[in-house]
Amino acid sequence: EAGVAQSPRYKIIEKRQSVAFWCNPISGHATLYWYQQILGQGPKLLIQFQNNGVVDDSQLPKDRFSAERLKGVDSTLKIQPAKLEDSAVYLCASSPGTGELGRPSNTQYFGPGTRLTVL
Amino acid sequence: AQSVTQLGSHVSVSEGALVLLRCNYSSSVPPYLFWYVQYPNQGLQLLLKYTSAATLVKGINGFEAEFKKSETSFHLTKPSAHMSDAAEYFCAVSDGKSGNTGKLIFGQGTTLQVKP
C-alpha cells in the first residue's frame, strides 16, 4: 500500500512570496490533516478535512494560509505572503476512519513532509 | 484541554542499555495515546498506540509502553537499545470519542542518542 505522498520535499523562498504544498493521502482515507512542525517542537495541527469538508481550522492563520481538498482526495496548502516565522516542516497525514473489523481508527499516517525555508 | 509533557528533551544511552522515554498527559476524557518516531528528514512513523484495551502496549522494533491512569503516564521503553534507535520520539494524545478522528496533540519530542 502506498503511503502519504507530499511534494515538494524542500522549498526555499523569500519573505512575502507565495508557496504551495501538495499532499496525496493513502487511498480510501477520508480524513486528511496538515501539521506545522517548527524546529525543535512537536507538530501542531493547522487544518483537518473530513472528505472535502473542513472539520477543524482553528489554528490556521487565515490571513495568509489557505487549504483545500477538492473531490475529497488530494489537498493543497498555500501560504501568501510568507513570513520568516513560517519556516518549518509541513506534514500531511491521513486517517482511515475505520480500522480492523470495522472499528473506529484514529491512527494517523504521515507523509515525509515539506521543509520550507523563508529568507 | 488535552496536553502532553515529555520529560527530557535529550536522552543518551549506551548500546544494549534500557531505553526509557517519559510521557505524561492531561485529558478530561479517556485518551487515545500514541508514540511516533521521526528519523532525520523523514515523516513520523507510528511505534504504538493505546486505545483503552490492554494497558501494556507492544509496538514495532521491540518498543512497548504502559498506560498508567493513576499517574497519567504513558512511558516508552525498550529493554536493549540499538544504534538504529537513535531518532526523535514524540508522544501524542487524541480524545477518545468513539469514531472520532480528531487531531493529535504532540509533546515537544525527545531526542534519543545511542552511544556505541
* Tens-digit pLDDT profile for residues A52-65: 889 889 999 999 99
Which residues in chain B have Cβ-Cβ distances shorter than 8 Å to A110?
36, 43-45
Q: Three cell numbers at A20?
A: 504551495
Distance from CA of B67 to the nearest CA of A (A): 17
Contact A81, A15 (CB under 8 A): yes
Q: How far apart are CA B52 and CA A46, in angstroms?
A: 27
Residue of A nearest to B48 (CA): A107
Cβ–Cβ gap B103/A48 under 8 Å? yes
Looking at residue A57, its pLDDT comes to: 92
Asked if A106 lies within 8 A of B46 by C-beta distance, the reply is: no
Min Cα–Cα distance to chain A from B116, Å = 25
List the single best residue of A24, A106, A114, A116 to mutate versus B (max B Cβ within 10 A).
A106
Q: Which residues contact B49 (CB under 8 A, 6 or more apart)?
A: A107, B32, B33, B34, B35, B57, B59
Asked if residue A68 lies in contact with residue A7, where contact means CB atoms within 8 angstroms, the answer is no
- Cα distance between residue A53 and residue B81, in whole Å: 43
pLDDT per position as a tens digit, A101-112: 555 567 899 999
Distance between CA atoms of residues B21 and B63, nearest Å: 11
A23/A91 Cα distance (integer angstroms) = 9
Identify all chain B residues contacting A2, using CB atoms and an 8 Å cutoff: none
Q: In the prediction, which pLDDT does B36 show?
A: 96
Flag the least confident range among A19-23, A109-113, B7-11, B48-52: B48-52
